[in-house]
Structure 1
Amino acid sequence: MAERPFAWSDIDQLLHSVEPRVPLMRMFHHGQVPEQAYTDDIVEPGRTRRVFNKAKFYEHMGRGATLVINWLEQHSVAAKRLCLEVGSFADTRTSSNAYLSFAGDGTFGQHWDTHDVFVIQLIGRKRWRIYPPTFPLPLTYQTNDTSGHTCPTEPALEVILEEGDVFYIPRGWWHHVIPLQGRQLPPLGGVLLADNVRLCRSDGGQIVRAGDRRPQGIFRGRLSGQRI
């Protein structure tokens, strides 16, 4: 990409200015971590405000927890711009979630999403293992944990996302994500959720237009600073 859309100073600002409350922020570590386990309520002039307890926060993150910031575009101009860019490319509305993780074996395990996903690796590196769908194109209520399906043994694709990489995953494809520390910086992955992605699929490493068909494969690209 021409320039990094996020720096750690931007993340610090978000974590300082946005209150860590459900549903805006959630922490997961093989299940949701109660807010009280990593936050405190402090009294300021005229109000009570919730803040991170730094010691508890870093303890959980160091053990492999993931902090999820939902609707990031509502609090970050840079995230809003990325949403608009991907939305323009995919011809659909988008929303963004950020996943902040330091280490661990993958907080969410093997699972599928019930929406199409554009993954943008903003800071750090993550290993993605992608498995073929066993329940093609699931609807919102058709989650993997209630389906009775199990993830295939062998991945169809394994890739390490570097800063600036963009990765498209159609809904229903199993995946497992593992953060890779490297450079002593925890990875931050941005995910743009698309309700109706229609424009592209993977074909020999090249992104090709596919009319009005839903994408059937996975593609990996890189932000250019102009357009994905």
Structure 2
Amino acid sequence: MLERCVARGRDEFAADYWGHQPLLSPAARLPRDFSDLLTPAMVDEIIAERGLRTPFIRMAREGTLVDRACFTRTGGFGALMPDQVDPDGVLTEFAAGATIVLQGLHRFWPPIIDFVRGMTSDIGHPVQTNAYITPPANRGFDPHYDVHDVFVLQVSGTKRWRVHEPVHHHPLADQPWTDHREAIAERAKDAPVIDTVLEPGDCLYLPRGWIHSAEAQGDTSIHLTVGVAPLTGHDVATAMIEALASEEELRASLPFGLAPVDAACTAEHTREVLDVLARLIAEKQEHLSDLAGDALATQYLDLTRPAPVRPLATLDAVAALGAETRVQWRDGLHGSLDGADPDTVVLKLPTKSISFPAVCEPALHAVLEGAPVSAGTLPGLDADDGLVVLRRLLREAVLVAL
């Protein structure tokens, strides 16, 4: 999916742009537009017919969020949730110049579910998508930066983007632009690095921290913001510090009567702690590296989801499964095999573990490789035993039928 968004090869983008500088990719240099992902008619369908609730929708006008009571209400008999979108209220606010923000489209809109799954696989960091629908000649937000990288995909209409260099490079999730409001306002007075009008099919990549603002032109503008939450060196360092909680030296109390209101009072003790940290990291480097790697993997899995499964269709596939029926590993699901027990092999998944007789290990390796398989082609098993294994993996939402 990345090639749909950047007019550069993958390696060039990774080396020269990822996390470093913006990239404007005009529609003429991209494979196709983005009308398969969202259109004005699709926006109307989502708002009018999908029972959308907050926080999957919000509205903003000139940098200020609109009170959600203005565009939500109870769903009525049989759906009494108080925060369902009210299309009448959305129309009123939109006509008065408010931008509609559809949040988390990757959780409920099928074309974008598939698109984000592909982007996550290509980029290797968590990805999400919002849509911004702005009335003509209006803007939703003041100049600001995001704490995640974004790919701006112009769907319809046009929007003028002004981009300025960061005042705070590589911000973390808990370092919002409001912490630097005055500096951003000053930077926005400078000549922009990019000042362009995005046309349908254009894409603009912005690393986190780059200041930007956008204003719709003569028509209603719809764009998708594909947000990427990069895993960082800070995540690795945090995981290592958490792992060192097992060290008695670091858990010990600092001296009695410390009262650390003055940095000079604690200088000696902080230096001692830093010396202990340096020694422990040197002594346990390989162990800490493994623990930090495990923590990073857990963080990634917590922030991403595999391809969705269809429960009814899956059970139908289980019932109809034959020796030649082809199935495949569920896209985006991460798993590994543990064969420490000579009698058992364990398939370890993010949310559970599944045990099989050890004789199934070659078959499970074949399944994990990701290519389509069938009961009649699994190594080490006859067709009947292969059917037993595949039926279980289908029921456990590990495989999908093709």
Question: Is the TM value for this pair above 0.5?
Answer: yes
Number of the residue aligned with 2:67: 34
2:45 to 8, 13, 17: 13
Shift of 1:166: 1.7
Q: How far apart, in 1, do the equivalents of 2:231 and 2:97 lie? A: 32
The TM-score with structure 1 as length reference comes to 0.76
Shift of 1:90: 2.1
Aligned residues: 193
Number of the residue aligned with 1:75: 108
Q: How far apart, in 1, do the equivalents of 2:34 and 2:54 lie? A: 32
Structure 2 contact 34–201 (Cα < 8 Å) conserved = no
Q: What secondary structure does 2:58 align onto?
A: strand
Q: What secondary structure does 2:197 align onto?
A: strand
Q: What secondary structure does 1:47 align onto?
A: coil
Shift of 1:40: 3.4
Shift of 1:3: 7.0
Number of the residue aligned with 2:150: 117
Q: What secondary structure does 1:80 align onto?
A: helix
Shift of 1:121: 1.1
Q: How far apart, in 2, do the equivalents of 1:35 and 1:109 lie? A: 20
Greater relative contact order, per chain length (Cα 8 Å cut-off, separation 6+) = 1
Q: What secondary structure does 2:172 align onto?
A: coil
Q: How far apart, in 2, do the equivalents of 1:2 and 1:133 lie? A: 29
Structure 1 contact 65–104 (Cα < 8 Å) conserved = no
Number of the residue aligned with 2:356: none
Q: What per-residue deviation string (whole Å, max 9, x for no partner) do you get for residues 79-128 of structure 1?
A: 12221333233232211111111134422110000111111111221111
Structure 2 contact 33–201 (Cα < 8 Å) conserved = no
Please tell me the residue identity of whatever aligns with 2:45.
Q
Shift of 1:10: 1.6
Structure 2 contact 133–222 (Cα < 8 Å) conserved = yes
- Is the radius of gyration larger for structure 1 or structure 2? 2
Q: How far apart, in 1, do the equivalents of 2:39 and 2:178 lie? A: 35
Q: What secondary structure does 1:78 align onto?
A: helix
Structure 1 contact 83–96 (Cα < 8 Å) conserved = yes
Number of the residue aligned with 2:125: 92
Q: Does 1:142 align with 2:179?
A: no
Shift of 1:191: 0.8
Structure 1 contact 62–103 (Cα < 8 Å) conserved = no
Q: How far apart, in 2, do the equivalents of 1:93 and 1:132 lie? A: 24
Q: What secondary structure does 1:149 align onto?
A: helix
More helix, by proportion: 2
The TM-score with structure 2 as length reference comes to 0.45
Q: What secondary structure does 1:10 align onto?
A: helix
- Identical residues among aligned pairs (%): 24
Structure 2 contact 137–218 (Cα < 8 Å) conserved = no
Number of the residue aligned with 1:212: none
Shift of 1:27: 1.1
Q: What per-residue deviation string (whole Å, max 9, x for no partner) do you get for residues 26-67 of structure 1?
A: 1112322112212333423x332534242x422321232111
Please tell me the residue identity of whatever aligns with 1:94.
V
Q: What per-residue deviation string (whole Å, max 9, x for no partner) do you get for residues 9-39 of structure 1?
A: 2222211233343211111123221122123
Runs (5+) with no aligned partner, structure 1: 199-228
Structure 1 residues 48 and 181, CA gap change in structure 2 (3 angstroms): farther
Q: Does 1:22 align with 2:54?
A: yes
Structure 1 residues 59 and 43, CA gap change in structure 2 (3 angstroms): closer
Q: How far apart, in 2, do the equivalents of 1:165 and 1:72 lie? A: 20
Please tell me the residue identity of whatever aligns with 1:67.
I
Shift of 1:137: 0.8
Structure 1 contact 28–66 (Cα < 8 Å) conserved = yes
Q: How far apart, in 2, do the equivalents of 1:70 and 1:194 lie? A: 14
Structure 1 residues 58 and 82, CA gap change in structure 2 (3 angstroms): same
Q: Does 1:187 align with 2:221?
A: yes
Q: How far apart, in 2, do the equivalents of 1:92 and 1:7 lie? A: 27
| Residue correspondence of structure 1 range 195-214 to structure 2 within 5 A | 195-196=229-230
Q: How far apart, in 2, do the equivalents of 1:103 and 1:58 lie? A: 14
Structure 1 contact 114–138 (Cα < 8 Å) conserved = yes
Q: How far apart, in 1, do the equivalents of 2:161 and 2:34 lie? A: 24
Structure 1 residues 193 and 143, CA gap change in structure 2 (3 angstroms): same
Number of the residue aligned with 1:106: 139
Q: How far apart, in 2, do the equivalents of 1:87 and 1:135 lie? A: 26
Please tell me the residue identity of whatever aligns with 2:80.
T
More strand, by proportion: 1
